[in-house]
Amino acid sequence: MIPESIFKAYDIRGLYPVQINEGVVREIGLRFGSFLSANEIVVGRDMRLSSGPLFSSFVQGVIDSGVNVLDIGIVSTPFLYFGISHLKAKGGVMITASHNPKEYNGFKVCREDAIPVYDVELKKLRDVAIAPSQPAVKGHVKPMEIFPEYRRHVLSFVRDIGRVKIAIDAGNGMGGAIFPQILKEMEGSGIKLIPLYCELDGSFPNHEADPLKPENLRELQKAVIENKADLGAGFDGDSDRVIFVDERGEIIRADFVSALLAQEFLKREPGAAIVYDLRSSKVVRETIEARGGRAVGCRVGHAFIKSKMRQEKAVFGGELSGHYYFRKGFTADNADIPVLMIMEILTKEKMKLSELIRPFKKYFASGEISTRLENPRGKLDEIVAIFKDGRLSREDGILIEYDDWWFNIRESNTEPLLRLNLEADTMEKMASRRDELLSIIKGK
């Protein structure tokens, strides 16, 4: 019996073995090839303790259905995206629960060219998976070694990285297997790597592999300061997002990194479109437009960012969650590329990372604040009525803008929560407007 609850908005995910287990994934595997109309798919997995058993069962289901499997091994999610495109497959699966705790596992599902399967399409997969299967001639598994090609791909985004000292914290996730190997042949050029928790361990013995939580970056911050590193990078479990730390050990907001990378892409491709999520500081839009680019706001979520980038033919996209997307990277998110690009920018500009980021610190942000409510949608309508004199967008929840402040409130995809992000020109206005909105949200 396949529980419907494991089919989320963007992926398949649940507690192992209660919700997602070998029997469940074998049943999904039996129907997966027909769902994609594929005779061959790419499958990768992360280092979680349950990923090996789930891989074996899923693959058995796939080959029992007559579909062949290209096994690219224990890899990161960006590596899986690369594998689908490089091997010209009709689609693939990454077995991972990303940044979730060790008790979880799941699938990230893609079509050809790493196009994500999400929302309505995932529900179609669910419906296909619970239908009776038909016997078929068995397929086979073919191991594939494509790391050299992946390494060339990510290094194609940079030209010259000089003497840079970088600390990375992989949280015992896939970044520890991939990123050091990318740098390995470059260490003679003066690159110095300080690795933290790069040994693969799906029990996550040191801390959660979620760099969005500041407590998971403390040891990285300490390592940067103690080793006088130029920067630090914290990867999540499947290494598709990254959070940066500057040379002073200060955590850098991901939207500031988006602004910095946007400047670089607009040097390479003047006038290009760049996508950013609607929670980002308005300095991102201002930076893109000041450099002659076309700034395109988008609702939160990797599937929406990827779709918007394809529509707009955008060269680059960034999210506040630390996901960065690249047109020449199959319009997919990749954590290795932004780290390499920041290293190259430091080389070229001969400035400290804090100095490069300082111009973006113009405004004052609340950070994301979540509030549990019984009727989130009704509360949004109430807030729209109160702030009817502002400029309103409903692309992702509600975005209401004034000349000197703005806020975005959206519903969580998974819980009865409202998530508030607010920014203002002064600290005082940010604090007062934040408190005002929280009072309205909580009904006080």
Catalytic residue list: 98
Tell me how long the chain is.
Answer: 444
Collapse the DSSP code of 269 into the 3-class scheme (helix H, G, I; strand E, B; otherwise coil) and give the result.
Answer: coil
Cβ neighbours of residue 373 closer than 8 Å, sequence gap 6 or more: 379, 416, 417, 418, 441
CA distance 247 to 52: 38
CB-side neighbour CA atoms (13 Å) of 441: 24
* DSSP 8-state class, residue 116: B
The two most distant CA atoms of the chain are separated, in Å, by 68
Cβ neighbours of residue 172 closer than 8 Å, sequence gap 6 or more: 47, 197, 198, 199, 200, 201, 202, 203, 204, 205, 206, 209
Contact status, residue 418 vs residue 441, Cβ threshold 8 Å: yes
* H/E element, 14: strand 12-15
Contact status, residue 125 vs residue 138, Cβ threshold 8 Å: no
Collapse the DSSP code of 282 into the 3-class scheme (helix H, G, I; strand E, B; otherwise coil) and give the result.
Answer: helix
Closest CA to 173 of 224, 223, 253, 234: 234
By the 10 Å C-beta count (0-12 exposed, 13-18 middle, 19+ buried), 129 is classed as: buried
For the chain, how many helices (H) and strands (E)? 14, 22
Cβ neighbours of residue 355 closer than 8 Å, sequence gap 6 or more: none
- Encoding tokens for residue 272? 């290009």
Closest CA to 440 of 414, 422, 415: 422
